[in-house]
Structure 1
Amino acid sequence: MRTVVSLAPNLLAAVIVIALTWTFAFIVGRLSSSLLRRSSLRRSLVEAITKVSRLTVWLVGALVAATLVFPNLTPTKLLAGLGLGSIAVGLAFKDIFENFLAGFLILLRKPMRIGDDIACGDLSGQVEHISIRDTFLRQRSGELILVPNSYLYKNPVKILTDRAKRRISLEVGIAYGEDVEAARKVISETVEALSTRETSRPFDIFTTSFGSSSIDFVVRWWTGSTPKEEHLSRSEAVSSIKTALDNAGIEIPFPYRTLTFKEPLKLSPDGEERS
């Protein structure tokens, strides 16, 4: 009973410190949020910095309150205990802290924006939100995936819509017996007339290789960077080139295969193979 009575002033002082800490954390959070929103920082990064600033105030207030309640607990002992505890907590929550740090780095670097279409490993979709722990990725089929930030930070990320336009490629093959230059001219005229092509940039047509059954071209042109714009442009190009080559009488060959047999085949008089 005496111990409780003797600690009453310390407990009252600790309660006052906690109340002041709550007030100060609220003020710091509102002030930092108000100042940072005027900058060019992302909204998610502003929220993250605000949370960290409040957490720092609460940590300092908790340390002060703990030393008031337990006078024998010196700051040195408290910091030493925190050091050992932080190692245990760090090992237990390694993945959480890793995602937290990766989220900060992603928000600071600004490698991608809300609304960008990205591809990372087997994942692809549109970025809807970037939090301090994960990135909300909306797949083109409609599902929402929460991707840990550490996954995006550690692996190569392809940002498809980093620019408004991007170049796409299409392979076209013609039969060996066809005139290569005539086919090039037909393809060139067709690509030049595409409605989905970016006309401010040139397109390319290269003869690339001797295929198994065709002479192969690679056609490259610029169009919109979103997946839908790419699909529309590629669809128009395939249909238009096929129609143009057909109208010009230029063959797009099927794959040819030559079969050889160890023994000659014996045919019946009616031309059917005998077993």
Structure 2
Amino acid sequence: MQEFDLQDSIKGIWDKLGGWLDSLILNLPNFILASLVFILFIFIAKYVGKIFERITRKHIKEDSIRLMTVKVIKAIVILIGFFIALGLLNLDKLLTSVLAGAGVVGLAIGLALQGTLNNTFSGLILSFLPEIQIGDWVETNGFAGSVTEINLRNIVIKQSDNNYVIIPNSKIVEEPFKNFTRTARSRVFVNCGVGYESDLEMVRDLTIETIKDKFPQKGNEEVEFMYEAFGDSSINFVLRFWVDATKNRHLLIARNEAIIEIKKAYDAKGINIPFPIRTIDFTNKLSINRDT
């Protein structure tokens, strides 16, 4: 009885091995074709990666972002080849299981690295945006400075005090930012006031001519002078004019030069720029020797 069971077991094993061998022989052409397709897609991925790197080199200055983008593209192409190879092997169930498992794993990783992935995708977005590039002077999230680096996690800003600020990419994408470098010309604002005894029309004309001589305007640009209000000790006005400026420092320099020129012109014409004066009047006299 035991000998009979042993023979049946050996026969069952040989039948199973024979079935596998027959299946292998029958599926050998598909296996070879699937292998060739997968190898072909590996070469295609390398070729696509080189082309994409040449294209992105003109638009992405950061090597880390460019290399990561190329790797992602190559991985996507290889995955496509892998799925096609599984389809040629008639492994539909395995393909479905792989896709389902990849979805679950991807969801888990996405939830665990939500902040990191947000910054990573934001970094990819920033790398293609022409509105912000390395070397630009920007104001964002309460900081101002020159952009020195854009990577997959953050951007680095060098402030005017020579300190560096690291800001997550998601903050740049979600929050407004001002880029001084994107425009070659900017408008400068100067606020001042003159005494009530001044000839207002003469002050206006003198100020406009002084600024025009110092800062020539281009095209449709013009120096704008407008009185704003009757102040406590002066009649206040705002002055606006255009200058070449790609950094906040350029605006500060232009405002400084404008104030100097306006003060010189006012001194030459005897125009008063008053400042507030406070007069204290003691109406109650104190008596030291008072009759009791």
Which bin holds the TM-score, normalised by the shorter protein?
A: 0.7 to 0.9
- Which residue, 174, 178, 185 being the options, matches 2:198? 178
Computed over aligned residues only, the root mean square deviation of the Cα atoms, in angstroms, reads 3.5
Counterparts in 2 of 1:35-184, with a 5 A limit?
36-37=55-56, 41-44=59-62, 46-57=66-77, 74-184=94-204
Distance 1:265 1:63, change over 3 A: farther
TM-score by length of 2: 0.71
Pick the structure with more helix per residue.
Answer: 2
Is residue 273 of structure 2 the alignment partner of residue 252 of structure 1?
Answer: yes
1:209 alignment partner in structure 2: 229
* 1:17-53 Cα distance to aligned partner (Å, 9 max, x none): 9x9587665444234323x258x53344754531321
* 1:143-170 Cα distance to aligned partner (Å, 9 max, x none): 2333221111111111112111111100
1:229 alignment partner in structure 2: 250
* 1:151-205 Cα distance to aligned partner (Å, 9 max, x none): 11111111112111111100011122322222223322221221x4545531111
CA contact 2:188–2:254 (8 Å) conserved in 1: no
Give structure 1 stretches of 5+ with no counterpart: 1-5, 7-12, 270-275
Partners of 1:64 and 1:134 lie apart in 2 by 37
CA contact 2:185–2:242 (8 Å) conserved in 1: yes
CA contact 1:213–1:253 (8 Å) conserved in 2: yes
2:104 match: secondary structure? helix
CA-CA distance at 1:260 after TM superposition:
7.5
Structure index of larger Rg: 2
Give structure 2 stretches of 5+ with no counterpart: 1-16, 18-31
Name the aligned partner's letter for residue 249 of structure 2: K
2:262 alignment partner in structure 1: 241
Name the aligned partner's letter for residue 207 of structure 1: Y
1:118 match: secondary structure? strand
